[in-house]
Amino acid sequence: MSSRKIIAVITAITGDRVIVTEEAVKHVIDEHFRGIPQDIILETIERVLKDPSDLYKDSQNKSREYDFFYRLENGEFLVAIVKIISTGAYLSSMYPTGKSHRNRHKGFKKVKL
């Protein structure tokens, strides 16, 4: 992942320094928030990672772990997904989930904030 262009490093509520690459932000905009400017997306990612409403952890795979940061905004949830591997923590995606968490994520370990 080191060959990808890093555009931000955000310290999440977990203490992880989350690396945000240009590729990840492009994915978020193209797939989930078409037309929203990059600076607003970066601010939103930072808000979700630093001040989530809920946090779930999927650590079933020993070589990687995923953290799901949920934040309630205007009655609907946003989720930012962070992949944690031996080389660091990386933003994978962020998208809206509507008025509830994804059922699949509810099966993961909920972290007390």
pLDDT in tens, 40-89: 999 999 999 999 999 999 977 777 899 999 999 999 999 999 999 999 99
Q: pTM for this one?
A: 0.91
Residue 78 within any structural domain of the chain = yes
Residue 20 within any structural domain of the chain = yes
Domain of residue 41: give its range.
Answer: 6-111
Residue 1 within any structural domain of the chain = no
Residue 67 within any structural domain of the chain = yes
Q: How many structural domains does the chain have?
A: 1
Label residue 113 by pLDDT band (50, 70, 90): confident
Q: Of 103 and 97, which is predicted with more confidence?
A: 97
Q: Is the pLDDT of residue 7 over 80?
A: yes
Strand order across the beta sheet in which 65-73 lies: 6-11, 17-21, 88-98, 76-85, 65-73, 54-58, 109-111
Residue 95 within any structural domain of the chain = yes
Q: Of 108 and 60, which is predicted with more confidence?
A: 108
Residue 22 within any structural domain of the chain = yes
